[in-house]
Each structure stands twice: as C-alpha cells, then as structure tokens.
Chain A
Amino acid sequence: MSINYFSRRFFPAIVIGLIFLAVLASNISHAATVTLAGLAYSGDSKSIATRFPYTKRLELAQATGGSSLNKQLAQMMAKAKPANFELQQLALSELKGQDQTIVLALVITGETVSAERFGNIAKLLTQVRAQAMFFDFKSMTVLRTYPFSFSHLDVIDHYPSKNEMNERFQTVFYGDQGKAGILARFADAVSSATIPTNVPRFIQVTDVNIGAEAHPVLSKLVKNANGEEETLVADLFAESLSSKTGIPVLPFSKGYAIGNVMSMRIADGDVYNLKLPEPDYAISLSVPRFKKIKSGEAASGASYIFGAYSHVTIKEPVSGRTYMDADFKNGEVKLVPASQDTIDDSPAYYDALKGLFTKLSGNLAGTPSDWLKSATAASDISQQIKTTQELLKSCK
C-alpha cells in the first residue's frame, strides 16, 4: 500500500478530524474565565454587622479557628468544575486593565434567626438567603444572579440558648442530615450557571403585593416588618423559578437596591456598587390570603389543609405583552397530633406558598403536573405556560 493510496483513502477523514480538533480547541480557548471574589454581603456596608449578626459571628469563629469562610469557599471552589466556564481565583485588584472581567461572588442577602415560645414548646427558625452573582468588573454591572436559600425549622421542648442558636445557624452554611447547606448550594448553582454569549434578557420580580389577611402570617417568618415580607415572597419565587428552569433572575430591587444600584461588600473589605440592569420582563406577585381547613380527625390527631393563594403576572412592560396572568392556589396537608396543644401555622403556610411557586416553576421548566389543572381556573393556562416557557428560554 503506497503512501499516496493511504493519503487518498484517509484524506477526508483526516481533514474532518483536524477540523473537529480545531473547533474543539477554539471552544476550549474561548471558554469564558470567571474570577471568584468570595463571600460578600449585600446592602449598606456600615450596617452589615447589625443585619447579618449570625453570619458575621460564624465568619469570626471560623477565622479564629484558622480557616475563614472565604478560605473554605475558595478551597471548595478550587475543586469545582463549572460546566460552562473556567473559574480562577485572583485578587480583584489584579483584574484592572484585563480584558476578562467577569467576577463571581456568593452574596448573602438576608438572614433570619428567630425563636418563639408556644406553650411548653419553642420554635427556632434559621434561614439564610443568598445569590451566586456574576458581575462585570469593568462596567460594574450585574450580569446574572442565581438565588438560593436554606431554611431550618426546629420545634424543641425548651427555649433555645444562644449557643444552640449559633450551632443551628452553622448547619445553614454546612448542611444538615444530608441536606446541602449554603456553601454547597452555591457550588451547585455555579456548576450549571451560564455566562451570556448573546445579548442577555433580564427577568426580575418587580412588584410584590401582600394582602391584609396574608400579612400577619408572613410577618411571623421574618425578623422585621420593614418590607421584608415582600422580599421574602420575591426571593421565594425567584429561587423556585431559577432552580427549576436554570434561568438567572435579577434580585428584587426593592429589597436589595436603591436607585437600581446594588451595594455589596466582599468579606475582605472592598465595597462595590453594582448597577442592576433594567428588567426586560417583569414579574408581579400578589399573595392575598392563606386559608386553613380541617380535612380529617381521628383519636391520634387532626389533619389540616394549609392553603396559599397567589396571583402571578409576567409581562414585557414596553409592549405590554402579557405572558402569564393567572390566580393559583396550593394546599399542603399537615397532621397535628392530639398531644400537641399549641399550633404555629406560619411554617405550614410558608410550605404551602413555597409549594405553589415550586410546582408552578416545575411546569414552566417543562414538567407538566396534574396540580396545574386544580391550581388555577384560567382556561388558557396551557397556552400561558407555553408562551412563558419560550420567554424563559430567551433569558438563559
């Protein structure tokens, strides 16, 4: 077999192979590089200690122990292999003058630790809300955010001590009973996050309206009533939508930004003011009420259906085109043992609202469920889901 015969026989295959390798190489060399900035806190830098006392206490305790939260995050992310970009760890000061300037931060946006006594039991709620935030270091503009949270509710037979509260708070960051904590959830969000290759479209929860009947329930779930209920609902929806569909959702502007400027401080000390892009698609949520119905009773206890109601609107504000405009309801059944003489309804209502947003997001992610038919009276809901799905695809 001559060399010429070999060349003629395999030439096309060699050419195709070389083209394939060239394309592969160009894809690898063009994969975006993202710089990890570390842990950050949203909002006014001077009030961080009062707004995030437990996270700051945890940060201090870990740093005193020789491994700060930031260091732990860096070590964890050094092993992470995000699917859609390269992750590097550099001091942000080194980015000045560089072409590649996408920065990633774990931004803590809210924490709630509350203990409440009910008769001879106590309820301890610990919650942290956070975001995996990508921003452009050159223009200081938020590119995309993936919200997530961790909540833990304990019912214990005594009022918790400060130490118990701190210990329980640790589990929010490190996970508990196989449930991933904030650090692992951040890694998980980053692993599948995407960097916009085309012109990005932005979606945001822009309005939250809480009805007078729903207000007392939600106010029990947040520490202060200063607009926090609205932020809680907005975050809950954004987290469900983002985690189910994989799309980034801009942070709720009323909760985190003033004049569309979101301030944050990296744990190492630098303060950055990031511009939030104007949303292209606006989500309006209203939570008019919650409802509790007894569904069964036996000697061992009673079962209740805790119902949450919400109206969801998604529209493009310039043309006024509406993609979704429907009422939804969701019920969660809870058993209350006869031995329990006091009942705190708010966690059950919270689960019902979270369930509503999660199930709706599941349908928007392309997983149809029977729940949808019973959850809304909108006759064109299938069409609404379909058009919203197309819209969400464009936001990826």
Chain B
Amino acid sequence: MAETASAKGQATVKYNTSLFSSKVSAEDKSKALLQAQLKAVDKYYAEAGDSQSENLDVIRDKIKADPDRYLLETAILSEEDRPDMKQYSVTVRVTLNVSQLRNAVKSKSAVANSSSGEKSKLTFIFVSRQTDSAQSFDDKVYKGIEVKEQSKGTRNSGQYRASVETGGSTTRKATKKTYTIFPSNYLKSVFNGVFASAGFKVVDAAYLEPYSKGLLKIKSVESDFNSGNDLQPQTERNVAMGLQNAQVPYIAYGTLDVRLSDTDPATGLFRVSVAATGKVLDARESIPVTVAEVGPIQSAGLGPTEEEAQTNALKNAADKVAKELLSQMTGAGIR
C-alpha cells in the first residue's frame, strides 16, 4: 500500500475579464487549483524539515508536469470569486502519494543517476542502548573567609577597622552514565532497506572487518557508545582508515537510546520512546568529513508488551534517522 499524507494549500489568482464575460474563466480556475495543490506540497515538505525541502526543489517541475501522479486526491475546501477585485481564491486538501514522491526524489538523486560502477559502497553501525547506571556527583563547595584589618594604631585604638569577606565556589560534575547495549540485528533490515533502495551498495559492517586490516571493529564502536555519546578520536581515526583499507567511502553510525516504558494515556498499552542520533562520515580523504548529521530524533512505539513496544519504537526511530540522513546525502549530491 502506498504511503500517503494529507496537506492543505491555498492560492489566489488575479484574472482579466473579457467583453463576453466578467467572471473567472475555467482556465484561471485550473491555474489557481494547480497553484493551491503545489502550495499544499510545499507545506508538507516545509513541515518535514529543511533537508526534505531541498528534495522538493529537485522534483518540483516533475510534480507540476504531472500532478495526478503525485496527488492521489484533491478536495476543494473553499473557493471564492471576487469579480469586483478580479480575484479568485481556492483552498484544497490533497492526499500526497508519499511513496511516489520519494521515488521521484531518489530518481533525481546523484546516486540514482550513477551507473552501477559509480555507485558508492556504504556501511553502517548503529547501537541500541539503555541507561544502565547513572552516577551523579554531589556539588563540591569551597568556602573562604578573608579578614582584612586596617589600622593606624593598635586593635584597641579608635583608628582600627576590620572587615570580613566570605566567598567561594561550587564545582558541579556531570552525571556519569553507562549503558547496556543490546543486540538489535533486526534494525539492519531497516537501514539496509533505506540506503540500498536509494542506490547505495550497502555492506554489512561485520563482513567489512577483515578487509579493514583490523582497524574497523564493531566492538570498539560499541565500547565507546557504552559510556558516551560519540566515538573516541582514536576509534574514529581507526574507523576512517579501516574504511580506506576496505575501499568503502561512507559509514553511517549512531545511537538509539531506549527510555523506560510507561503507559500510553490514550490506549493503556505499553509505550516506549527512543532518542536517536546519526552521522555519515566521508572517509575517502585522510581527514574524514561529516557529510550528514541528525538528531536527536524522538520516536515512540506502542505494544501490548514492553518488548513489542520497544521493538516498534526502535524500528520507527531507525527508519526516521536513516531517511533523514539519506535526505541530507541526496541534498549534498552524494552518489
């Protein structure tokens, strides 16, 4: 079933009257309708974020040329003809064929327009984790008292003055978190699906390890994400060099942080939320460059059991991160 979405748009056109008619012509009405439909598509992409809007620029002409292909339904919500101002306005709600729009973006992307030999290899490592322990530190407080004495005579004389200044500082230390990393192999199909369908040659990181001459290690990446939100510089350097050894230019990596479950107020089902981040590195040069970065993206999943809710949340988050990364890569013309 095609993925669809609804959006509304409005357009107003000025028209010229003729000797025979002072009303808006069918041609002007069609022009206004098309403008309103395109405004609705604009609105949909604007609400989806900046990288998606860039994608719209790529396919706008395609939509204009064949709106019926991308717009499944159009409902006219209101139309108003103002002959006194020679102005016609129309408001529409359109049902967008999101799958078809996505295909159009893909077909216009650099990677899709490359021959098989030119298409880049890409691998990915995404780590699903949950806070295992959070060590918070008490504030360290330093207090000082300084007594200043000023006197021309003795302590007992009338010329003596003493003042006391108190002060100090408080040092706060960030909470130290460690995470439990759990296997989420089923997410591979999500990332694989998004990147492969866009035209990249997706390589499983596990198969890549031996070709990286021992530098790209999934365990090292997981170990870094076990206690932090980014890779250690050494790990990142090793990953980049490992990719160069294996002749794979791009790697997508990131974390999916699973929060504790609660009860969904609307359904009474278990609800788990996930905060996801992701990054794509271009490792072709000796100094790797970040070409796409997203997050944190919040996503939630519902289910009759906690495990099911967690799986749904992770899948939703993985899908969102992969699509947003891909969208930025398409915008950057990566093939």
Contacts and interface: CB of A to CB of B under 8 A. Distances in A.
Interface stretch (B56-64, B240-248, B261-269): B261-269
Contact of B268 (A46, A278, A280): A46
A22 interface: no
A181 interface: no
Contacts of B80: 319, 321
Contact of A273 (B73, B77, B93, B267): B267
Contacts of B91: 316, 318-319, 321
Interface in B1-52: 1, 4, 6, 8-10
Contacts of A47: 268
Contact of A319 (B6, B10, B302): B10
Contact of B74 (A46, A138, A199): A199
B170 interface: no
Interface stretch (A26-34, A258-266, A370-378): A258-266
Interface string A214-228: 000000000000000
Interface in B252-273: 263-269
Contacts, number: 64
Given A44-B265, A257-B266, A258-B265, A319 B89 contact: yes
Interface in B64-86: 73-75, 77-78, 80
Nearest to A47: B268
Given A138-B1, A273-B302, A278-B6, A318 B77 contact: yes
Given A277-B6, A316-B91, A259 B266 contact: yes
A319 B267 CA distance: 34
Contacts of B266: 43-44, 257-259, 261-263, 273
B74 A280 contact: no
A138 B3 CA distance: 12
Nearest to B8: A318
A199 B37 CA distance: 15
A321 B78 contact: yes
B77 A271 contact: no
Nearest to B92: A318
A280 B1 contact: no
Instruction: Give the residue among A273, A280, A281 with the most B Cβ atoms within 10 A.
Output: A280
Interface string B261-290: 001111111000000000000000000000
A316 B78 contact: yes
Interface string A125-139: 000000000000011
A44 B80 CA distance: 42
Contacts of B75: 199-201, 280
Interface string B150-191: 000000000000000000000000000000000000000000
Nearest to A43: B266
Nearest to A278: B6
A390 B5 CA distance: 27
A151 interface: no
B6 A44 contact: no
Contacts of A319: 10, 77-78, 80, 89, 91
A319 B89 CA distance: 9
A224 B263 CA distance: 23
B267 A201 contact: no
Interface residues of A, number: 26
Interface in A267-305: 271, 273, 277-278, 280-281
Contact of B267 (A44, A277, A316): A44
B267 A271 contact: yes
Contact of B269 (A43, A199, A257, A271): A271
Interface string A26-62: 0000000000000000011111000000000000000
B258 to A, nearest CB: 21
B68 to A, nearest CB: 14
Contacts of A273: 266-267, 302
Contact of B10 (A45, A257, A262, A318): A318
A254 to B, nearest CB: 13
Contacts of B73: 199
A303 B9 CA distance: 54
A281 B77 CA distance: 8
A22 to B, nearest CB: 28
A46 B78 contact: no
Instruction: Give the residue among A257, A316, A318 with the most B Cβ atoms within 10 A.
Output: A318
Interface string A187-218: 00000000000011100000000000000000
A166 B162 CA distance: 85
A273 B312 CA distance: 15
Interface in A231-262: 257-259, 261-262
A245 to B, nearest CB: 18
A339 B6 CA distance: 61
Contacts of A277: 6
B267 A280 contact: no
Nearest to B95: A199
Contacts of B304: 271
A138 B4 CA distance: 12
Instruction: Give the residue among B6, B73, B263, B267 with the most A Cβ atoms within 10 A.
Output: B267
B206 to A, nearest CB: 35
Instruction: Give the residue among B9, B78, B91 with the most A Cβ atoms within 10 A.
Output: B78
Contact of A280 (B77, B89, B265): B77
A141 to B, nearest CB: 10
A272 B75 CA distance: 27
Instruction: Give the residue among B73, B265, B304 with the most A Cβ atoms within 10 A.
Output: B265
A280 B304 CA distance: 33
A39 B103 CA distance: 42
28 contacts: A43-B266, A45-B269, A46-B268, A47-B268, A138-B1, A139-B4, A199-B74, A199-B93, A257-B266, A258-B265, A258-B266, A259-B266, A261-B266, A261-B267, A262-B266, A263-B267, A271-B269, A273-B267, A273-B302, A278-B6, A280-B77, A316-B78, A316-B91, A318-B77, A319-B10, A319-B78, A319-B89, A319-B91
The 7 closest A-B pairs by CB, nearest first: A46-B268, A199-B75, A258-B266, A45-B268, A319-B91, A263-B267, A199-B73
Interface of B: 1, 4, 6, 8-10, 73-75, 77-78, 80, 89, 91, 93, 95, 263-269, 302, 304
Given A258-B265, A271-B268, 20 more contacts: A44-B264, A44-B265, A138-B1, A139-B4, A199-B73, A199-B95, A200-B75, A201-B75, A257-B266, A258-B266, A263-B268, A271-B267, A273-B266, A278-B6, A280-B75, A316-B77, A319-B77, A319-B89, A321-B78, A321-B80
Interface of A: 43-47, 138-139, 199-201, 257-259, 261-263, 271, 273, 277-278, 280-281, 316, 318-319, 321
